Amino acid sequence: MADTDGLLDARDFGTSAGPAASGFHVKGAHGQDWGLRNRLSRIFRPDTGRTVMLAFDHGYFVGPMAGLERLDTRIAPLVPDADAIMMTRGALRTSIPATAGAGIVLRASGGPSILRELSDEHIALDMEDALRLNAAAVAIQVFVGGEHESRSVANLAALVDAGQRHGVAVLGVTAVGKDMVRDARYFRLATRISAEMGAHIVKTYYVDEGFETVTASCPVPIIVAGGKKLPEIDALTMAYRSIQEGAAGVDMGRNIFQSDSPAGMLAAVRAVVHDGLKPEEAYEIYKEKAGGSAA
């Protein structure tokens, strides 16, 4: 057994330095093959190095939640304004036009529903089908500290092997159990494990204290999940702080599709992520698009 006694707490994150220049706009990917870098460029805009990923994969374990009752009428119209979209292959094939230009990020894990122990996931997508669907990346939940931690990490590693074989990126999604502490220390652990296991992108949650240490100590881009629906100004503030503190974008779902103006919110988030607008400035964009419906 590895000797874990006397491990020193990490403390020198060099957060003021930013990642070392590599000549490629996606952190940690300069050594990858052409195809994988090309696919990453369909997710992260080469001019900003950032992404606005619209997540609507939630149905794979919760079914038709609020805002996702109809993927064809409510979500498909938003797709042209997202850099990348994250969903299941079922959602993509049935409800999203094949003319979509966004980078395709396919949910590749599944198994339990919200009625069961969520960490009991398996790989639920073959890389061959991901290629058939022109996926830029596949996404898998990683349950560090969860009941099925080892299996989920092994699933991630297996997917990375398949991804490296075919030049498809892998997004490791940090899954936080109900009883886990959502702090920078936990997210440093979970995100770094995903990156060390070979994930090319890691999704995690924003934390008010020490988020810059999470992004600094993860050698691949961090994108931030929106989480539960917040007032629009708060979600924009979270996106702004995430970017300021080193995230390479957002992978946002409920805070867009549960907004009273999903298109307005998507435009506002884009302005924060790509144009560096302050939350209050971006909120004006949301309000304008929302017309009379926004507060």
Active site residues: 203
- In sequence order, the 6+-apart residues with CB closer than 8 A to the CB of 37 are 24, 26, 29
Question: What is the rounded (10 degree) CA torsion for 133, 139, 140, 141?
Answer: -140
**Residue with Cβ nearer ligand 5RP (32 or 204):** 204
Shortest gap between Cβ of 225 and ligand 5RP (angstroms)? 4
Of 80, 157, 265, nearest in space to 250 by CA: 265
Q: Residue 161: what are its φ and ψ, rounded to 5°?
A: -60, -45
Shortest gap between Cβ of 18 and ligand 5RP (angstroms)? 26
Shortest gap between Cβ of 143 and ligand 5RP (angstroms)? 11
Q: Exposure string (b/e) for 222-245, b if CB count within 10 Å is 16 or more?
A: bbbbbbebbebbebbbbbbbbbeb
Shortest gap between Cβ of 208 and ligand 5RP (angstroms)? 17
Tokens representing 76 are 């498909």
**Cα–Cα distance between 203 and 223 in angstroms, integer?**
5
**Cα–Cα distance between 262 and 253 in angstroms, integer?**
10
**Residue with Cβ nearer ligand 5RP (65 or 76):** 65
**Residue with Cβ nearer ligand 5RP (173 or 277):** 173
**Residue with Cβ nearer ligand 5RP (40 or 91):** 91
Binding interface with ligand 5RP (CB under 6 A) = 55, 57-58, 86, 173, 225-227, 251-255
Q: 100 and 121 in contact (C-beta within 8 Å)?
A: no
Shortest gap between Cβ of 249 and ligand 5RP (angstroms)? 12
Q: 2 exposed, middle or buried (CB, 10 Å; 0-12, 13-18, 19+)?
A: exposed
**Cα–Cα distance between 137 and 162 in angstroms, integer?**
11
Chain centre to alpha carbon of residue 156: 15
Exposure on the CB side of residue 80, measured as CA atoms within 13 A: 3
**Residue with Cβ nearer ligand 5RP (87 or 127):** 87
